[in-house]
């Protein structure tokens, strides 16, 4: 089995500038729009800024949740959504434990991060990395990045409002 | 037109009516958006004899053409009204996320007229725009308001609000957004308070479509790289603006003891290094900001304990050296309180330091202050007064009027210690150590101001940029901050450029210091973002037009050359100590050069008919009834 990659950010380093979010909507939808971005940034006072992306889960509940069979994993391990098959039921949005899938209001279809890395290379403070669970243990040996995410899970992944 | 929200919200508070009207490209071509747009709208809609706190005043909030774009630091919005502090043109700007969010909701500006019968807040959720009862929020501070409205409207909305200072009509109250961002100067928070508008919550799920989407990222990458590669960026990221204390001390430009002198012996105790070493939590950025001068700081224990938005240099100067105060924890906490209550720290410290000097001279006593000891450097008194001013309690009620009006009321010769121009307190820039700053403070449309022109090119050795922007023939005099020569030419040019920057929603960091981006970059950005072709020459003319319409606005309220002045201390008393010892500001010489360069009458200091005709402002000229 291939090592599953995902993008994660360090909330202690991220400044909250949202360049990653805007790079994403511009790259995929040629517009500036956090509501159409596959990334999001959430600021938690007093001093944490969380850039948030698809975690590319091993069990990927979004795949099973889709009634149209529109979500699958590629050979490289990336979970992707077929635009042709997606009918925008929103079941994947509900199933995602990380609130990392949303419905693009223009197309009515689900969108999520596919680890293209465009935002990672443009982050002005190098707060982002494409990594795997194993690699992350090397770059963040104390596990602080993941534990900060876990600690604030309620706020970060609450399904408050869409898009 | 691309890259904009598309509509302006006109809100009649008296009638509780909301009207959305499309923006007009012809208006944009003449005045851009932001500062220029509001300059024209407010000129047209505020009667000459209106009282700033009456229903006749108009409060405008506008984004710039590039606000919400991916250009470096394109995060800003602008607030303007007739100022309750000065009685003339009032404007103030802030970074954050509120401006981009407003565009995402489909609006470029909001214009408030009239006065609401009851406290309200404006709730914007895309097409849903409503005035909502704010009785339960009125009286809350800025942070409480932020939390309450987030709870009510979701964590993704962006909040702009006033605190108790705005509600209590403190004449230097700020309008705050995104918690710690302040449109601080000119007292516009009091205008919002007088209109009974507590806050504006915005949530926009729309998009900003750009003119050249195919090349957009590639072009923006280039601008981002330029900003990141600029040698100023790492320094700014590390210290924000806080280490200006050290730099200003070195050149004798750090106002101390109410501008008695430009050096502060205890400067290291309130320095950028001190804050970095002991109080910094992290650097923070606003929308698409690569410089990240915002920061979170903390005082871990004691009476000044807090964690939150950090001070800028201006607060270190105003609550620190200007008041002779070397207690950095009180400076940090005072800044935190000013944000919480919604007040401009420059006028706050400027007013307290005026009172401290009057106390030092024996002109104010415990009878006036109700027992508060106003000795230089009394940190406890500074904090106590900050609270009292925001709530207009006791002696704070007088200080809430600002130093000029307070001195008028008290008399006894305290007027000569008012360090203000046109009733607004001078910022933390000792002009005897940098002559261009003195001229800029004297001519700025909103009263004493370092930002309207922000003539920092002669401050830190930007000789190449001066050569590029003005020409070889002005060197070396223009680069010498103590030489008044050519400063009139420089300030005029800087004013024109800075009002353009305020009209497109960019930051002065990046456009003026460091001077990385100039007209060609702005012109290019407008082209790829908005799809409008505006050459350097056209942009320069628009800048000049905006400065002139601001001047017309002020001329209608009696402003002439006599008001373009500085306190006598700065023009007649030589700096007593430090690197600028012996210097005064040669204001008259610089003013002559400035008026001449502007095409303004040397005696009246007002634009000539020819100048107004050249700038297509004849209609406005006629309406003033002065020409």
Q: Label residues B218-257 b or e (16+ Cβ within 10 Å = b).
A: ebbeebbebbeebebbeebbbbbbbbbbbbbbebbbbbbb
How many angstroms away from the CA of B285 is the closest CA of chain A? 5
Q: Mean of the pLDDT values across residues A74-93?
A: 97
Contacts of A29 in chain B (CB under 8 A): 207
Best residue of B63, B97, B282, B300 to probe chain A, by most A CBs closer than 10 Å = B282
Contact pairs from chain A to chain B, CB under 8 Å: 96
Q: For chain B, give the percent of residues with pLDDT over 70.
A: 100
Distance separating alpha carbons of residues B609 and B600, to the nearest angstrom: 9
At residue B167, the 3 state secondary structure works out as: helix
- Beta-strand pair B120-125/B197-203: parallel
The pTM of this model reads 0.98
In angstroms, the Cα distances linking B2 to B6, B67, B151, B220, B251 are 8, 12, 33, 16, 45
Q: Using the beta-carbon criterion (under 8 Å), do A19 and B286 form an inter-chain contact?
A: no
Chain B CB within 8 Å of residue A124 CB:
yes
Write out the two tokens for B302.
């004691």
Q: Using the beta-carbon criterion (under 8 Å), do B285 and A15 form an inter-chain contact?
A: yes
Chain B CB within 8 Å of residue A33 CB:
yes
DSSP assignments along B189-219, one per residue: HHHHHHTTEEEEEEE----B--S-HHHHHHH
Residues B395, B370 contacting (CB under 8 angstroms) = yes
Q: What is the pLDDT of residue A1?
A: 64
Contacts of A125 in chain B (CB under 8 A): 237, 283, 292
Contacts of B294 in chain A (CB under 8 A): 15
Query: Which positions ≥6 away from A29 have C-beta within 8 Å?
Result: A36, A104, A106, B207
Q: Is the pLDDT of residue A162 over 50?
A: no
- Beta-strand pair B420-421/B7-12: unpaired
Q: What is the pLDDT of residue A159?
A: 74
Handedness of CA B263, B267, B268, B274 (dihedral sign): negative
Residue A33 has its nearest CB partner, among B206, B287, B296, at: B206
* Closest residue in chain A to residue B309, using alpha carbons only: A46
Nearest-10 Cα torsion for A25, A27, A29, A33: 20
Nearest to A47 by CA among B276, B338, B285, B233: B285
Determine whether A64 is exposed, middle or buried from the number of CB atoms within 10 Å of its CB (0-12, 13-18, 19+). Answer: exposed
β-bridge partners, B160: B177, B200
Q: What is the pLDDT of residues B496-508, one digit of tens each?
A: 999 999 999 999 9
Q: Using the beta-carbon criterion (under 8 Å), do A161 and B154 form an inter-chain contact?
A: yes
- Beta-strand pair B7-12/B107-113: parallel
Q: Using the beta-carbon criterion (under 8 Å), do A16 and B69 form an inter-chain contact?
A: no
pLDDT bracket for residue B302 (50, 70, 90): very high
The vertex-B94 CA angle with B169 and B115, nearest 5°, equals: 35
Distance separating alpha carbons of residues B282 and B469, to the nearest angstrom: 36
Q: Mean of the pLDDT values across residues B91-115?
A: 98
Which stretches of A13-152 are DSSP H helices?
Answer: 19-29, 61-65, 91-95, 118-122, 133-139, 144-151
Residue A17 has its nearest CB partner, among B69, B213, B288, at: B288
- Residue A161: phi and psi, rounded to 5, are -155, 145
Distance separating alpha carbons of residues A34 and B101, to the nearest angstrom: 10
* Closest residue in chain B to residue A33, using alpha carbons only: B207
Q: What is the pLDDT of residues A119-153, one digit of tens each?
A: 999 999 999 999 999 999 999 999 999 999 999 99
Q: Which H or E run contains B425?
A: strand B424-425
Q: What is the pLDDT of residue B81?
A: 99
Contacts of B209 in chain A (CB under 8 A): 31-32
Q: What is the pLDDT of residue A163?
A: 42
Q: Whose structure tokens read 């408030």?
A: B112
Distance separating alpha carbons of residues B189 and B84, to the nearest angstrom: 9
Q: What is the pLDDT of residue B461?
A: 83
Q: What is the pLDDT of residue B10?
A: 98
Residue A26 has its nearest CB partner, among B216, B290, B298, at: B216
Handedness of CA B395, B401, B403, B404 (dihedral sign): negative
Beta strand spans in B32-144 (E):
59-63, 77-82, 89-94, 107-113, 120-125, 128-133
Q: What is the pLDDT of residues B327-384, one digit of tens each?
A: 999 999 999 999 999 999 999 999 999 999 999 999 999 999 999 999 999 999 999 9
Q: Using the beta-carbon criterion (under 8 Å), do B154 and A160 form an inter-chain contact?
A: yes
pLDDT bracket for residue B284 (50, 70, 90): very high
Q: Mean of the pLDDT values across residues B215-221?
A: 98
Nearest to B35 by CA among B117, B90, B86: B90
At residue B226, the 3 state secondary structure works out as: helix
- Beta-strand pair B294-299/B158-161: unpaired
Q: What is the pLDDT of residue B459?
A: 87
How many angstroms away from the CA of A145 is the closest CA of chain B? 16
Q: For chain A, give the percent of residues with pLDDT over 70.
A: 97
pLDDT bracket for residue B608 (50, 70, 90): very high
Q: What is the mean pLDDT of chain B?
A: 98
Q: What is the pLDDT of residues B579-590, one digit of tens each?
A: 999 999 999 999
Q: Whose structure tokens read 């918690």?
A: B179
How many angstroms away from the CA of B97 is the closest CA of chain A? 9
Q: Using the beta-carbon criterion (under 8 Å), do A31 and B296 form an inter-chain contact?
A: no
Q: Mean of the pLDDT values across residues B4-32?
A: 98
Nearest to B528 by CA among B24, B106, B66: B66
β-bridge partners, B284: B294
Q: Using the beta-carbon criterion (under 8 Å), do B206 and A35 form an inter-chain contact?
A: yes
Q: What is the pLDDT of residues B440-496, one digit of tens each?
A: 999 999 999 999 999 999 987 899 999 999 999 999 999 999 999 999 999 999 999
Q: What is the pLDDT of residue B561?
A: 98
Query: Which positions ≥6 away from B44 have C-beta within 8 Å?
Result: none
Tell me the angle at which helices B519-530 and B536-555 cross, rounded to the nearest 10 degrees. Answer: 100
Q: Whose structure tokens read 């009878």?
A: B367
User: In this prediction, does ipTM exceed 0.85?
Assistant: yes
Best residue of B102, B125, B205 to probe chain A, by most A CBs closer than 10 Å = B205
Write out the two tokens for B491.
């300030």
* Closest residue in chain A to residue B296, using alpha carbons only: A47
- Residue B405: phi and psi, rounded to 5, are -70, -35
Q: What is the pLDDT of residues B148-159, one digit of tens each?
A: 999 999 999 999
Contacts of A42 in chain B (CB under 8 A): 155
Distance separating alpha carbons of residues B152 and B150, to the nearest angstrom: 5
Distance separating alpha carbons of residues B136 and B539, to the nearest angstrom: 46
Which stretches of B373-484 are DSSP H helices?
Answer: 379-390, 395-399, 403-410, 435-443, 463-470
């Amino acid at each position: 089995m291939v090592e599953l990659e995902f993008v994660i950010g360090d909330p202690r380093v991220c400044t909250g500038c949202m360049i990653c979010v805007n790079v994403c909507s511009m790259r995929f939808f040629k517009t500036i729009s956090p509501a159409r971005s596959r990334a999001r940034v959430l600021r938690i006072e007093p001093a944490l800024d969380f850039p948030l992306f698809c975690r590319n889960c091993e069990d990927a509940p979004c795949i099973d949740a889709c009634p149209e069979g529109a979500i699958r994993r590629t050979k490289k391990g990336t979970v992707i959504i077929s635009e042709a098959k997606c009918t925008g039921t929103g079941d994947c949005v509900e199933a995602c434990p990380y609130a990392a899938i949303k419905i693009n209001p223009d197309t009515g279809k689900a969108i999520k991060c596919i680890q293209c890395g465009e935002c990672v290379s443009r982050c002005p403070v190098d707060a982002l990395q494409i990594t795997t669970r194993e690699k992350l243990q090397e770059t963040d040996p104390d596990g602080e990045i993941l534990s900060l995410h876990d600690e604030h899970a309620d706020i970060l992944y609450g399904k408050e409002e869409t898009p | 037109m691309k890259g904009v929200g598309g509509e302006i919200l006109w809100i009649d508070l008296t009638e509780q009516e909301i009207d959305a009207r499309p923006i007009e490209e012809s208006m944009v071509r003449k005045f851009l958006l932001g500062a220029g747009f509001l300059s024209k709208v407010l000129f047209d809609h505020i009667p000459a004899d209106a009282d700033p706190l009456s229903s006749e005043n108009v409060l405008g909030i506008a984004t710039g053409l590039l606000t919400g774009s991916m250009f470096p630091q394109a995060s800003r919005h602008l607030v303007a009204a007739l100022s309750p502090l000065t009685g003339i043109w009032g404007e103030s700007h802030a970074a954050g996320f509120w401006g981009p969010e407003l565009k995402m909701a489909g609006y470029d500006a909001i214009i408030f007229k009239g006065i609401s019968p009851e406290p309200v807040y404006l709730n914007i959720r895309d097409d849903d725009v409503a005035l909502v009862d704010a009785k339960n929020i009125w009286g809350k501070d800025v942070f409480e308001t932020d939390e309450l409205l987030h709870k009510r409207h979701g964590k993704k909305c962006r909040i702009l609000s006033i605190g108790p200072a705005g509600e209590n009509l403190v004449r230097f109250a700020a309008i705050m957004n995104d918690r710690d961002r302040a449109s601080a100067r000119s007292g516009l928070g009091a205008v919002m308070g007088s209109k009974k508008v507590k806050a504006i919550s915005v949530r926009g799920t729309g998009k900003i479509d750009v003119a050249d989407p195919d090349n957009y990222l590639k072009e923006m990458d280039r601008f981002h790289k330029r900003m990141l590669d600029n040698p100023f960026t790492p320094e700014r990221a590390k210290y924000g603006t806080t280490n200006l204390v050290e730099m200003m001390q070195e050149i004798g430009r750090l106002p101390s003891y109410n501008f008695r002198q430009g050096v502060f012996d205890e400067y290291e105790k309130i320095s950028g290094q001190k804050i970095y070493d002991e109080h910094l939590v992290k650097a923070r950025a606003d929308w698409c900001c690569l410089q990240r001068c915002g920061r979170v700081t903390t005082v871990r224990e004691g009476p000044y304990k807090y964690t939150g938005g950090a001070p800028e240099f201006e607060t270190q100067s105003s609550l620190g050296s200007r008041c002779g105060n070397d207690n950095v924890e009180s400076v940090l906490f005072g800044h935190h309180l000013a944000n919480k209550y919604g007040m401009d720290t420059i006028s706050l410290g400027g007013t307290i330091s005026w009172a401290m000097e009057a106390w030092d001279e024996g002109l104010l006593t415990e009878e006036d202050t109700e027992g508060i000891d106003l000795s230089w450097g009394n940190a406890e008194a500074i904090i106590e007064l900050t609270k009292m001013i925001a709530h207009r309690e006791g002696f704070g009620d007088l200080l809430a009027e600002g130093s000029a009006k307070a001195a008028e009321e008290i008399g006894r010769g305290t007027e000569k210690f008012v360090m203000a121009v046109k009733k607004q307190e001078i910022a933390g820039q000792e002009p005897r150590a940098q002559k261009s700053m003195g001229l800029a403070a004297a001519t700025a449309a909103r009263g004493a101001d370092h930002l309207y022109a922000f003539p920092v090119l002669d401050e830190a050795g930007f000789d190449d940029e001066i050569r590029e922007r003005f020409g070889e023939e002005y060197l070396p005099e223009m680069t010498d901050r103590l030489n008044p020569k050519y400063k009139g030419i420089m300030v005029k040019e800087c004013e024109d450029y800075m009002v353009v920057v305020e009209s497109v929603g960019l930051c002065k960091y990046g456009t003026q210091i460091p001077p990385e981006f100039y007209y060609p970059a702005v012109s290019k950005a407008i082209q790829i973002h908005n799809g409008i072709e505006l050459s350097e020459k056209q942009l320069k003319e628009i800048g000049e037009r905006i400065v002139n319409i601001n001047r017309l606005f002020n001329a209608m309220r009696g402003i002439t050359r006599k008001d373009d002045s500085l306190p006598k201390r700065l023009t007649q008393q030589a700096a007593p100590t430090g690197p600028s010892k012996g210097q005064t500001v040669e204001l008259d010489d610089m003013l002559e050069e400035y008026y001449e360069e502007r095409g303004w009458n040397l005696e009246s200091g007002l634009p000539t008919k020819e100048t107004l005709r050249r700038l297509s402002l004849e209609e406005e000229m006629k309406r003033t009834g002065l020409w």
